[in-house]
Chain A
Amino acid sequence: MQALAAATACMPMARLAAPRQQQRQQRHAPAAASRRQQPCRRSAARRLVMVTAEAGTSGAAAASQLQAFSQTAPQRVLGADGKLAEFPTTAGVYAVYDSSGTLHYLGLSRKIAVSLATHVEALPEGLVHSVKVLEVPEASKEELQEAWKAWMQEAVAEAGAIPPGNASGQTLWQQRRPRAAKPEIRLTPGKGVQDLTCSVEDLVDQVVKTCKVVAFVKGTRTQPQCGFSYKVLTILQESGADFEVVNVLDDVYNPGLREAIKNYSAWPTIPQVFVGGEFIGGADIVEEMNGSGELKTALQQAGAVRG
Protein backbone atom coordinates (compact mmCIF):
# COMPACT_ATOMS: atom_id res chain seq x y z
CA MET A 1 0.00 0.00 0.00
CA GLN A 2 2.94 2.30 0.66
CA ALA A 3 4.15 1.66 -2.88
CA LEU A 4 0.72 2.47 -4.24
CA ALA A 5 0.54 5.61 -2.12
CA ALA A 6 4.00 6.65 -3.32
CA ALA A 7 3.10 6.03 -6.93
CA THR A 8 -0.10 8.01 -6.79
CA ALA A 9 1.20 10.68 -4.44
CA CYS A 10 4.06 11.43 -6.81
CA MET A 11 1.93 11.82 -9.91
CA PRO A 12 3.49 13.95 -12.65
CA MET A 13 3.09 17.66 -12.03
CA ALA A 14 1.44 18.19 -15.41
CA ARG A 15 -1.44 15.88 -14.52
CA LEU A 16 -1.92 17.28 -11.06
CA ALA A 17 -1.68 20.83 -12.40
CA ALA A 18 -4.67 20.26 -14.70
CA PRO A 19 -7.23 21.57 -12.18
CA ARG A 20 -5.28 24.83 -11.90
CA GLN A 21 -5.26 25.23 -15.68
CA GLN A 22 -8.99 24.71 -15.68
CA GLN A 23 -9.31 27.40 -13.02
CA ARG A 24 -7.38 29.91 -15.14
CA GLN A 25 -9.50 29.08 -18.16
CA GLN A 26 -12.66 29.55 -16.16
CA ARG A 27 -11.54 32.90 -14.76
CA HIS A 28 -10.95 34.28 -18.26
CA ALA A 29 -13.62 32.42 -20.19
CA PRO A 30 -16.99 33.88 -21.18
CA ALA A 31 -19.96 32.87 -19.10
CA ALA A 32 -21.18 30.43 -21.74
CA ALA A 33 -17.81 28.71 -21.88
CA SER A 34 -17.73 28.58 -18.10
CA ARG A 35 -21.09 26.82 -18.06
CA ARG A 36 -19.80 24.33 -20.62
CA GLN A 37 -17.01 23.36 -18.20
CA GLN A 38 -19.49 22.25 -15.55
CA PRO A 39 -20.52 18.95 -17.22
CA CYS A 40 -16.94 17.73 -16.83
CA ARG A 41 -17.24 17.84 -13.05
CA ARG A 42 -20.63 16.15 -13.09
CA SER A 43 -19.27 13.54 -15.48
CA ALA A 44 -16.39 12.81 -13.13
CA ALA A 45 -18.77 12.51 -10.20
CA ARG A 46 -21.08 10.32 -12.24
CA ARG A 47 -18.18 8.04 -13.19
CA LEU A 48 -17.26 7.68 -9.54
CA VAL A 49 -20.85 6.80 -8.70
CA MET A 50 -20.93 4.27 -11.53
CA VAL A 51 -17.70 2.70 -10.34
CA THR A 52 -18.95 2.30 -6.80
CA ALA A 53 -22.34 1.09 -7.99
CA GLU A 54 -20.73 -1.56 -10.16
CA ALA A 55 -18.71 -2.67 -7.14
CA GLY A 56 -21.96 -3.41 -5.37
CA THR A 57 -21.90 -0.44 -3.02
CA SER A 58 -25.29 0.66 -1.75
CA GLY A 59 -26.66 4.07 -2.62
CA ALA A 60 -26.18 5.31 0.92
CA ALA A 61 -22.58 4.13 0.98
CA ALA A 62 -21.99 5.68 -2.44
CA ALA A 63 -23.34 9.00 -1.19
CA SER A 64 -21.08 8.76 1.85
CA GLN A 65 -18.06 8.00 -0.30
CA LEU A 66 -18.70 11.09 -2.41
CA GLN A 67 -18.53 13.41 0.60
CA ALA A 68 -17.00 16.62 -0.67
CA PHE A 69 -13.58 17.65 0.51
CA SER A 70 -14.77 21.14 1.36
CA GLN A 71 -17.68 19.80 3.39
CA THR A 72 -15.53 17.51 5.52
CA ALA A 73 -14.44 18.93 8.83
CA PRO A 74 -10.91 18.19 10.00
CA GLN A 75 -10.48 16.40 13.30
CA ARG A 76 -7.55 16.28 15.68
CA VAL A 77 -5.20 13.39 15.08
CA LEU A 78 -4.16 13.04 18.71
CA GLY A 79 -6.55 12.98 21.63
CA ALA A 80 -6.17 14.82 24.91
CA ASP A 81 -4.20 11.85 26.21
CA GLY A 82 -1.65 12.25 23.43
CA LYS A 83 -2.70 9.01 21.81
CA LEU A 84 -4.05 8.52 18.32
CA ALA A 85 -7.73 9.38 18.17
CA GLU A 86 -10.28 6.92 16.83
CA PHE A 87 -9.95 6.58 13.06
CA PRO A 88 -11.28 4.02 10.59
CA THR A 89 -9.20 0.92 10.05
CA THR A 90 -10.72 0.63 6.60
CA ALA A 91 -9.60 1.98 3.25
CA GLY A 92 -9.99 5.61 2.33
CA VAL A 93 -8.49 8.97 1.57
CA TYR A 94 -7.15 11.41 4.11
CA ALA A 95 -5.84 14.99 4.09
CA VAL A 96 -3.32 16.05 6.72
CA TYR A 97 -3.00 19.57 8.16
CA ASP A 98 -0.38 21.06 10.43
CA SER A 99 -1.14 23.01 13.59
CA SER A 100 -1.56 26.24 11.60
CA GLY A 101 -4.21 24.69 9.38
CA THR A 102 -2.02 24.30 6.32
CA LEU A 103 -2.74 21.28 4.14
CA HIS A 104 0.42 19.21 3.73
CA TYR A 105 -0.51 15.87 2.27
CA LEU A 106 -3.33 13.99 0.62
CA GLY A 107 -2.93 10.24 1.02
CA LEU A 108 -4.81 7.05 0.34
CA SER A 109 -4.58 3.95 2.46
CA ARG A 110 -5.97 0.49 2.94
CA LYS A 111 -5.98 1.16 6.67
CA ILE A 112 -6.37 4.83 7.47
CA ALA A 113 -5.65 4.49 11.18
CA VAL A 114 -2.42 2.62 10.53
CA SER A 115 -1.22 5.20 8.03
CA LEU A 116 -1.94 8.05 10.41
CA ALA A 117 -0.14 6.27 13.22
CA THR A 118 2.85 5.82 10.94
CA HIS A 119 2.89 9.51 10.05
CA VAL A 120 2.64 10.55 13.69
CA GLU A 121 5.60 8.36 14.58
CA ALA A 122 7.77 9.30 11.63
CA LEU A 123 7.15 13.02 11.13
CA PRO A 124 7.97 16.10 13.20
CA GLU A 125 5.58 17.05 15.97
CA GLY A 126 2.92 19.49 14.85
CA LEU A 127 3.06 18.50 11.21
CA VAL A 128 0.35 15.89 11.65
CA HIS A 129 -2.12 17.95 13.64
CA SER A 130 -5.53 17.38 12.10
CA VAL A 131 -6.96 15.35 9.27
CA LYS A 132 -9.92 15.10 6.95
CA VAL A 133 -11.02 11.54 6.28
CA LEU A 134 -13.04 10.04 3.46
CA GLU A 135 -13.76 6.42 4.32
CA VAL A 136 -14.16 4.15 1.27
CA PRO A 137 -14.59 0.69 2.76
CA GLU A 138 -13.91 -2.34 0.59
CA ALA A 139 -12.73 -0.13 -2.24
CA SER A 140 -10.82 -1.58 -5.13
CA LYS A 141 -7.49 -0.07 -6.09
CA GLU A 142 -9.13 1.86 -8.93
CA GLU A 143 -11.96 3.14 -6.75
CA LEU A 144 -9.52 4.31 -4.13
CA GLN A 145 -7.47 6.14 -6.72
CA GLU A 146 -10.57 7.78 -8.14
CA ALA A 147 -11.62 8.95 -4.70
CA TRP A 148 -8.14 10.32 -4.12
CA LYS A 149 -8.17 12.15 -7.44
CA ALA A 150 -11.56 13.68 -6.70
CA TRP A 151 -10.35 14.99 -3.35
CA MET A 152 -7.05 16.17 -4.82
CA GLN A 153 -8.89 18.22 -7.41
CA GLU A 154 -10.97 19.84 -4.71
CA ALA A 155 -7.96 20.39 -2.46
CA VAL A 156 -5.99 22.06 -5.24
CA ALA A 157 -8.97 24.21 -6.15
CA GLU A 158 -9.36 25.26 -2.54
CA ALA A 159 -5.70 25.89 -1.70
CA GLY A 160 -4.58 27.02 -5.13
CA ALA A 161 -1.62 24.65 -5.08
CA ILE A 162 -0.71 21.01 -4.75
CA PRO A 163 -0.12 20.00 -1.13
CA PRO A 164 3.67 20.13 -0.58
CA GLY A 165 3.79 16.52 0.52
CA ASN A 166 2.35 15.43 -2.80
CA ALA A 167 4.82 17.37 -4.91
CA SER A 168 6.81 15.41 -7.44
CA GLY A 169 9.89 13.83 -5.88
CA GLN A 170 8.66 14.39 -2.36
CA THR A 171 9.14 11.32 -0.16
CA LEU A 172 8.70 12.75 3.34
CA TRP A 173 5.29 11.18 3.80
CA GLN A 174 6.44 7.76 2.71
CA GLN A 175 9.00 7.62 5.50
CA ARG A 176 8.59 5.16 8.30
CA ARG A 177 10.46 5.44 11.57
CA PRO A 178 11.90 2.08 12.59
CA ARG A 179 9.87 0.91 15.53
CA ALA A 180 11.81 -0.33 18.52
CA ALA A 181 11.24 -4.04 18.92
CA LYS A 182 9.21 -5.03 21.94
CA PRO A 183 11.53 -6.56 24.54
CA GLU A 184 11.31 -10.25 25.36
CA ILE A 185 9.77 -11.32 28.62
CA ARG A 186 12.25 -12.41 31.27
CA LEU A 187 11.03 -14.92 33.80
CA THR A 188 13.59 -14.16 36.49
CA PRO A 189 15.79 -11.26 37.64
CA GLY A 190 18.75 -13.26 36.41
CA LYS A 191 20.04 -14.57 39.73
CA GLY A 192 19.70 -18.27 38.99
CA VAL A 193 17.25 -21.02 39.77
CA GLN A 194 18.39 -21.45 43.36
CA ASP A 195 17.01 -18.04 44.32
CA LEU A 196 13.54 -18.68 42.94
CA THR A 197 10.65 -19.03 45.36
CA CYS A 198 8.58 -20.91 42.80
CA SER A 199 9.30 -23.25 39.94
CA VAL A 200 10.05 -22.16 36.40
CA GLU A 201 6.87 -23.91 35.32
CA ASP A 202 4.90 -21.73 37.72
CA LEU A 203 6.48 -18.69 36.13
CA VAL A 204 5.57 -20.03 32.70
CA ASP A 205 2.00 -20.48 33.87
CA GLN A 206 1.86 -16.87 35.05
CA VAL A 207 3.10 -15.62 31.69
CA VAL A 208 0.71 -17.81 29.74
CA LYS A 209 -2.28 -16.76 31.84
CA THR A 210 -1.35 -13.08 31.76
CA CYS A 211 -0.51 -12.56 28.08
CA LYS A 212 -3.05 -12.58 25.28
CA VAL A 213 -0.48 -14.20 23.00
CA VAL A 214 2.95 -15.49 23.92
CA ALA A 215 5.47 -17.38 21.83
CA PHE A 216 8.26 -19.40 23.41
CA VAL A 217 11.00 -19.40 20.81
CA LYS A 218 14.68 -20.00 20.26
CA GLY A 219 16.18 -16.54 20.09
CA THR A 220 14.62 -13.11 20.23
CA ARG A 221 11.92 -11.28 18.31
CA THR A 222 14.48 -9.67 16.03
CA GLN A 223 17.06 -12.45 16.04
CA PRO A 224 15.39 -15.85 16.00
CA GLN A 225 17.94 -18.66 16.02
CA CYS A 226 15.82 -21.37 14.47
CA GLY A 227 13.85 -21.59 11.24
CA PHE A 228 10.72 -22.77 12.97
CA SER A 229 10.90 -19.95 15.52
CA TYR A 230 11.42 -17.49 12.67
CA LYS A 231 8.32 -18.88 10.95
CA VAL A 232 6.15 -18.40 14.01
CA LEU A 233 7.43 -14.89 14.69
CA THR A 234 6.89 -13.87 11.08
CA ILE A 235 3.31 -15.15 11.06
CA LEU A 236 2.46 -13.41 14.32
CA GLN A 237 4.08 -10.18 13.20
CA GLU A 238 2.21 -10.19 9.90
CA SER A 239 -1.05 -10.91 11.68
CA GLY A 240 -0.77 -7.58 13.47
CA ALA A 241 -1.24 -9.26 16.81
CA ASP A 242 -0.02 -7.85 20.08
CA PHE A 243 2.17 -10.70 21.26
CA GLU A 244 4.95 -11.44 23.72
CA VAL A 245 8.10 -13.45 23.18
CA VAL A 246 10.11 -15.55 25.60
CA ASN A 247 13.58 -16.71 24.63
CA VAL A 248 14.15 -20.29 25.79
CA LEU A 249 17.87 -20.01 25.03
CA ASP A 250 18.37 -17.20 27.52
CA ASP A 251 19.87 -19.17 30.40
CA VAL A 252 20.56 -16.05 32.45
CA TYR A 253 17.02 -14.76 32.79
CA ASN A 254 15.10 -17.91 31.84
CA PRO A 255 17.10 -20.72 33.44
CA GLY A 256 15.80 -24.19 32.73
CA LEU A 257 13.01 -22.86 30.55
CA ARG A 258 13.86 -25.00 27.55
CA GLU A 259 12.83 -28.14 29.40
CA ALA A 260 10.25 -26.55 31.68
CA ILE A 261 8.12 -25.35 28.78
CA LYS A 262 8.06 -28.85 27.28
CA ASN A 263 6.85 -30.30 30.56
CA TYR A 264 4.33 -27.52 31.00
CA SER A 265 2.67 -28.03 27.61
CA ALA A 266 3.42 -31.74 27.14
CA TRP A 267 4.82 -30.73 23.78
CA PRO A 268 8.31 -31.88 22.84
CA THR A 269 9.47 -29.12 20.53
CA ILE A 270 10.02 -25.38 20.34
CA PRO A 271 8.54 -22.93 19.30
CA GLN A 272 5.30 -23.09 21.23
CA VAL A 273 2.49 -20.58 20.94
CA PHE A 274 -0.19 -19.83 23.51
CA VAL A 275 -3.26 -17.76 22.71
CA GLY A 276 -5.77 -16.71 25.33
CA GLY A 277 -4.02 -18.86 27.91
CA GLU A 278 -4.23 -22.01 25.81
CA PHE A 279 -1.53 -23.87 23.93
CA ILE A 280 -2.36 -23.84 20.22
CA GLY A 281 0.69 -25.59 18.82
CA GLY A 282 4.09 -25.31 17.21
CA ALA A 283 5.25 -23.89 13.91
CA ASP A 284 3.41 -26.32 11.65
CA ILE A 285 0.08 -25.90 13.40
CA VAL A 286 0.40 -22.12 13.55
CA GLU A 287 1.21 -22.06 9.85
CA GLU A 288 -1.74 -24.27 8.98
CA MET A 289 -4.09 -22.28 11.21
CA ASN A 290 -2.88 -19.10 9.57
CA GLY A 291 -3.66 -20.52 6.15
CA SER A 292 -7.15 -21.64 7.13
CA GLY A 293 -8.07 -18.44 8.99
CA GLU A 294 -8.30 -20.18 12.35
CA LEU A 295 -5.38 -18.22 13.73
CA LYS A 296 -7.06 -14.91 13.02
CA THR A 297 -10.20 -16.13 14.75
CA ALA A 298 -8.24 -17.26 17.80
CA LEU A 299 -6.36 -13.96 17.97
CA GLN A 300 -9.58 -11.98 17.72
CA GLN A 301 -11.22 -14.04 20.44
CA ALA A 302 -8.23 -13.38 22.67
CA GLY A 303 -8.46 -9.67 21.94
CA ALA A 304 -4.98 -9.61 20.42
CA VAL A 305 -6.15 -8.08 17.16
CA ARG A 306 -9.13 -5.97 16.22
CA GLY A 307 -12.04 -7.97 14.86
Chain B
Amino acid sequence: MVGSSDVEERLRTELDVQDLKVQELAGCGTSFALYIVSESFAGKRLLERHKLVNLALAPLMPHIHALSIKKAKTPEEEQGAAEKQKPPSQQQAAAM
Protein backbone atom coordinates (compact mmCIF):
# COMPACT_ATOMS: atom_id res chain seq x y z
CA MET B 1 0.00 0.00 0.00
CA VAL B 2 1.41 3.34 -1.08
CA GLY B 3 0.49 6.53 0.73
CA SER B 4 1.00 10.21 0.00
CA SER B 5 3.90 10.29 2.46
CA ASP B 6 5.71 7.64 0.43
CA VAL B 7 5.22 9.63 -2.75
CA GLU B 8 6.35 12.83 -1.09
CA GLU B 9 9.45 11.19 0.33
CA ARG B 10 10.48 9.81 -3.06
CA LEU B 11 9.98 13.13 -4.80
CA ARG B 12 11.92 15.10 -2.20
CA THR B 13 14.72 12.57 -2.36
CA GLU B 14 15.00 12.40 -6.13
CA LEU B 15 14.18 15.99 -7.16
CA ASP B 16 15.37 19.40 -6.04
CA VAL B 17 11.94 20.34 -4.74
CA GLN B 18 11.04 23.85 -3.58
CA ASP B 19 7.33 23.27 -3.12
CA LEU B 20 5.30 20.09 -3.14
CA LYS B 21 1.72 19.03 -2.64
CA VAL B 22 0.61 15.41 -2.91
CA GLN B 23 -3.13 14.95 -3.00
CA GLU B 24 -4.76 11.55 -2.67
CA LEU B 25 -7.61 11.21 -5.14
CA ALA B 26 -10.88 9.52 -4.39
CA GLY B 27 -11.79 6.59 -6.56
CA CYS B 28 -10.83 3.01 -7.20
CA GLY B 29 -7.23 2.17 -6.37
CA THR B 30 -4.42 4.38 -5.11
CA SER B 31 -4.42 7.63 -7.05
CA PHE B 32 -2.52 10.87 -6.57
CA ALA B 33 -2.48 14.39 -7.94
CA LEU B 34 0.88 16.13 -7.77
CA TYR B 35 1.73 19.83 -7.61
CA ILE B 36 5.49 20.25 -7.88
CA VAL B 37 7.79 23.27 -7.99
CA SER B 38 11.37 22.24 -8.61
CA GLU B 39 14.62 23.62 -9.98
CA SER B 40 15.07 20.21 -11.59
CA PHE B 41 12.55 21.27 -14.25
CA ALA B 42 14.66 24.20 -15.46
CA GLY B 43 15.37 24.06 -19.18
CA LYS B 44 13.08 21.11 -19.71
CA ARG B 45 9.85 20.99 -21.64
CA LEU B 46 6.69 19.53 -20.20
CA LEU B 47 7.16 15.96 -21.38
CA GLU B 48 10.67 15.77 -19.91
CA ARG B 49 9.40 17.17 -16.61
CA HIS B 50 6.73 14.52 -16.37
CA LYS B 51 9.28 11.85 -17.22
CA LEU B 52 11.48 13.09 -14.39
CA VAL B 53 8.60 12.69 -11.97
CA ASN B 54 7.73 9.25 -13.32
CA LEU B 55 11.36 8.20 -12.98
CA ALA B 56 11.49 9.45 -9.41
CA LEU B 57 8.42 7.42 -8.56
CA ALA B 58 9.36 4.36 -10.61
CA PRO B 59 9.68 2.00 -7.60
CA LEU B 60 6.18 2.97 -6.46
CA MET B 61 4.43 2.96 -9.84
CA PRO B 62 3.44 -0.74 -9.75
CA HIS B 63 1.38 0.07 -6.67
CA ILE B 64 -0.17 3.29 -7.96
CA HIS B 65 -3.42 3.08 -9.89
CA ALA B 66 -3.40 6.55 -11.37
CA LEU B 67 -1.06 9.51 -11.28
CA SER B 68 -1.96 13.04 -12.33
CA ILE B 69 0.75 15.69 -12.50
CA LYS B 70 -1.21 18.91 -12.18
CA LYS B 71 1.77 21.23 -11.85
CA ALA B 72 5.41 20.85 -12.84
CA LYS B 73 6.98 24.29 -12.72
CA THR B 74 10.27 25.94 -11.86
CA PRO B 75 10.32 28.45 -8.98
CA GLU B 76 10.64 31.28 -11.50
CA GLU B 77 7.58 30.11 -13.41
CA GLU B 78 5.63 29.72 -10.20
CA GLN B 79 6.61 33.23 -9.12
CA GLY B 80 5.55 34.60 -12.49
CA ALA B 81 2.20 32.87 -12.24
CA ALA B 82 1.70 34.24 -8.74
CA GLU B 83 2.42 37.77 -9.96
CA LYS B 84 -0.17 37.42 -12.70
CA GLN B 85 -2.82 36.49 -10.16
CA LYS B 86 -2.24 39.61 -8.08
CA PRO B 87 -4.74 42.49 -8.41
CA PRO B 88 -3.46 45.30 -10.68
CA SER B 89 -2.99 47.64 -7.70
CA GLN B 90 -0.66 45.20 -5.96
CA GLN B 91 1.26 44.62 -9.18
CA GLN B 92 1.79 48.38 -9.53
CA ALA B 93 2.88 48.65 -5.91
CA ALA B 94 5.36 45.83 -6.43
CA ALA B 95 6.71 47.52 -9.55
CA MET B 96 7.41 50.83 -7.72
Which residues of A pack against B, CB within 8 Å? 226-228, 266-269, 279-285, 288-289
Contact = CB atoms under 8 A, between A and B. Distances in A.
A284 B70 contact: yes
A84 B58 CA distance: 50
B45 to A, nearest CB: 10
Query: Per DSSP, are chain A's interface residues mostly helix, strand or loop, or mixed?
Result: mixed
A171 B67 CA distance: 46
A284 B69 contact: yes
A64 to B, nearest CB: 40
Contacts, number: 30
Given A281-B47, A285-B46, A285-B47, A267 B54 contact: yes
B66 interface: yes
Contacts of A282: 50
Contacts of A280: 47
Given A268-B54, A268-B58, A228 B47 contact: no
Interface string B64-78: 001111100000000
Given A267-B51, A269-B66, 13 more contacts: A227-B27, A228-B66, A228-B68, A268-B54, A268-B58, A269-B54, A269-B67, A280-B47, A281-B47, A284-B70, A285-B50, A288-B46, A289-B46
Contacts of A269: 54, 66-67
Contacts of B66: 226, 228, 269
B61 interface: yes
